Amino acid sequence: MLEPHTDWIKFEQQLLALEATNYFQQENNDKIEVKKVISERMKIALLQLPEGLDEIEATDLLYQLSSVKYAQLNYFAEYRQNPNDEQYQEQWYLKRINASSAWNATTGGTTVNGDTITIFVIDEGFDVFHEDLEDNIWINHAEIPNNGIDDDNNGFIDDLRGWNLSNNSGTHLPAEHGTRVAGIMGGVSNNGIGIAGINWNVKIIPFSIGLNELTDANILQGYDYALDLRVRYNQSNGDDGAFIVVTNFSGGFVNQFPDDLPIFCEIYNTLGEAGILSVTSAPNGVNYDVQNRGDIPTLCSSPYLITVTGVDSFDIRTGSFGSYSVDLAAPAQGIFTTEPINNYGDFRPGTSFAAPQVAGAVALLYSINNDVFGQAMDNEPLKTSLLVRDAILNGVEKLDTLTNSTATGGILNLGNAINVLSHYYEGWNERFDLVNAYPNPVDNILTVVYQSPDVGTFDLMLFNSVGQHLLQQKVEAVEWGFRSIAIDMSIYNSGVYYLVLKNGQQTEITKIIVY
């Protein structure tokens, strides 16, 4: 557990941590310690400030260093789970999210290219030997078990099944929360016992952080572990690391805003650039307005982040809300799943159990059997991950109960998401079409994806909500297939806009929200 009076510093060069130490000695005549290097790859360190030094003042002073990009306090997070003391009867949520329709197309496991699809999970502990989880727990084959040596040279000794930061070992404690989350995403299915996970076959990398150690420093170290594995995989052409496509963290920091934790928000872009989407749960509390009261990661604006609230079996929202910051909902009540020591059960509502359904959906979509999708994963991994994200968001089932409380106004529909992504990569020269516009809502660059069956020009136009014509430009369709163009939306005020593509025979319109 970290001591009080701690602070984050992100450096242009890691050695400039010493410069920060010298700076504080000069300004305050006190010694500051570099307590831990959180990430060499991202140049992040955890500093221990002297007792009596005001943390806010110290943060402001650190920003004066030319070598410091970000500085933030080391906050405590919370897991998104309510107390557990009730039972429910069945996995009703799988039917509600239309899982069986998706399973007609794929049950998960590997990509069409043969990559083993992997989910990375930060939680308080896992029963990695549970009868319905063990076969789907990732094994680090680059590590020789129990030899006391860091065989793969990643800074973790004997991390055979991920890592437990609380005891600094590869041994996990069979905590309830993480075991339940893992079962939702990837309980071994079609094996005649237990439950069905959203992915019948998948690999789950557990990263344990106990509740008393759940600081942003430790959470970010977990994300760095995932980042290193995926970067190794990318750089070795699959010979090293792991093909992590999504992370799940069912927790966060209530009453905090992006300016309070800038490093935490930036990590999602960093993961995204390596090809990893991230899923988090919005806070519990039906009256909690995320945008007014604050929450991290929910308010982080990364396009590679998906935020999830919860609904009950009557489609009534049970979690917090945010018209642009909360992306969608998923069932969060009576979620029957794995329980430690080969047990099963369902529990009180919590957005903790909504988020892993969406993370599981991301992993499942990566397993669609489509050669064009496989080529895209190899050639355009960032675009591919955003298309997977948008397939999930565009495939939601709209609900009146979620109107104006989520960006999509809908609940996860796994079957629809599979269809949206599959359709994108099938018949891709059929017609002139506005395929996608993302991120939406947007505060900066909007990427517009269109398909054109032939050469020629078409008009791209933008209107505000009262019909004023704000933008018009001619776009050249040089050949059939998918193309994208970028529009700077930062010059427009917050509000609703309409994007129009018109080629003489067809007109395509979509609503864009700027915040």
Which one has a higher pLDDT value, 32 or 136?
136
Task: Read off the pLDDT of residues 254-267 as tens digits, 9 standing for 90 and up.
Answer: 999 999 999 999 99
Task: Read off the pLDDT of residues 473-508 as tens digits, 9 standing for 90 and up.
Answer: 888 765 545 567 888 999 999 988 999 888 767 788
Q: Is the pLDDT of residue 283 over 90?
A: yes
Task: Read off the pLDDT of residues 194-209 as tens digits, 9 standing for 90 and up.
Answer: 889 999 999 999 999 9
**Count of CB atoms within 10 A of residue 86's CB?**
13
Q: List beta partners, residue 350.
A: none
Q: How much is the average pLDDT of 323-337? A: 94
Q: How much is the average pLDDT of 26-38? A: 71
Q: What is the pLDDT of residue 91?
A: 82
Q: Is the pLDDT of residue 64 over 50?
A: yes
Which one has a higher pLDDT value, 335 or 7?
335
Q: Which two tokens stand for residue 320?
A: 């917090």
Q: How much is the average pLDDT of 116-123? A: 98
Percent of the chain predicted with pLDDT > 70: 86
Q: How far apart are CA 215 and CA 453, in angstroms?
A: 51
Highest-scoring range by mean pLDDT, 47-61, 135-149, 445-459: 135-149
Q: What is the pLDDT of residue 238?
A: 92
Q: Is the pLDDT of residue 60 over 80?
A: no
State pTM to two decimals. Answer: 0.78
Q: What is the pLDDT of residue 18?
A: 53
66-70, 200-204, 318-322: which range is least confident on average? Answer: 66-70
Q: What is the pLDDT of residue 25?
A: 59
Q: Is the pLDDT of residue 12 over 70?
A: no
Q: How would residue 8 be classed by pLDDT, with cut points 50, 70 and 90? A: very low
Q: Which helix (H) or strand (E) holds 271?
A: helix 262-273
For residue 443, give every residue at least 6 positions away whose Cβ sits within 8 Å of its Cβ, in sequence order, or none.
301, 489, 490, 514, 515
Which one has a higher pLDDT value, 74 or 165?
165
SS3 (DSSP) at 291 = helix
Q: What is the pLDDT of residue 294?
A: 96
Q: How would residue 20 be classed by pLDDT, with cut points 50, 70 and 90? A: low
Q: Is the pLDDT of residue 452 over 70?
A: no
Which one has a higher pLDDT value, 20 or 234?
234
Percent of the chain predicted with pLDDT > 90: 54
Q: How much is the average pLDDT of 107-113? A: 94
Q: Which domains does the chain have, with CATH numbers?
A: 6-73 (3.30.70), 78-143+174-368 (3.40.50.200), 429-514 (2.60.40.2550)
Q: How would residue 411 be classed by pLDDT, with cut points 50, 70 and 90? A: very high
Q: What is the pLDDT of residue 71?
A: 84
Q: How far apart are CA 95 and CA 72, in angstroms?
A: 43
Highest-scoring range by mean pLDDT, 73-77, 136-140, 462-466, 489-493: 136-140
| Residue labelled with tokens 């010059």 | 491
Task: Read off the pLDDT of residues 377-396 as tens digits, 9 standing for 90 and up.
Answer: 888 888 889 989 988 998 89
DSSP per residue, 215-239: BHHHHHHHHHHHHHHHHHHHHTTTS
Q: Is the pLDDT of residue 11 over 50?
A: no
Which one has a higher pLDDT value, 328 or 455?
328
68 half-sphere exposure, CB direction, 13 A CA radius: 24
Task: Read off the pLDDT of residues 82-103 as tens digits, 9 standing for 90 and up.
Answer: 322 232 236 889 989 998 889 8
397 Ramachandran zone, left/alpha/beta (phi>0; psi -120 to 50): beta
62-66, 402-406, 410-414: which range is least confident on average? Answer: 62-66
Q: What is the pLDDT of residue 28?
A: 57
Q: What is the pLDDT of residue 22?
A: 62
For residue 204, give every residue at least 6 positions away whose Cβ sits within 8 Å of its Cβ, in sequence order, or none.
118, 119, 120, 121, 133, 136, 137, 138, 182, 185, 186
Q: What is the mean pLDDT of the chain?
A: 85
Q: How much is the average pLDDT of 181-199? A: 91
Q: What is the pLDDT of residue 87?
A: 29
Q: How would residue 24 be classed by pLDDT, with cut points 50, 70 and 90? A: low
Q: Which two tokens stand for residue 184?
A: 């939702």
* DSSP collapsed to 3 states, 335-384: CCEEECCCEEECCCCCHHHCHHHHHHHHHHHCCCCCHHHHHHHHHCHHHH
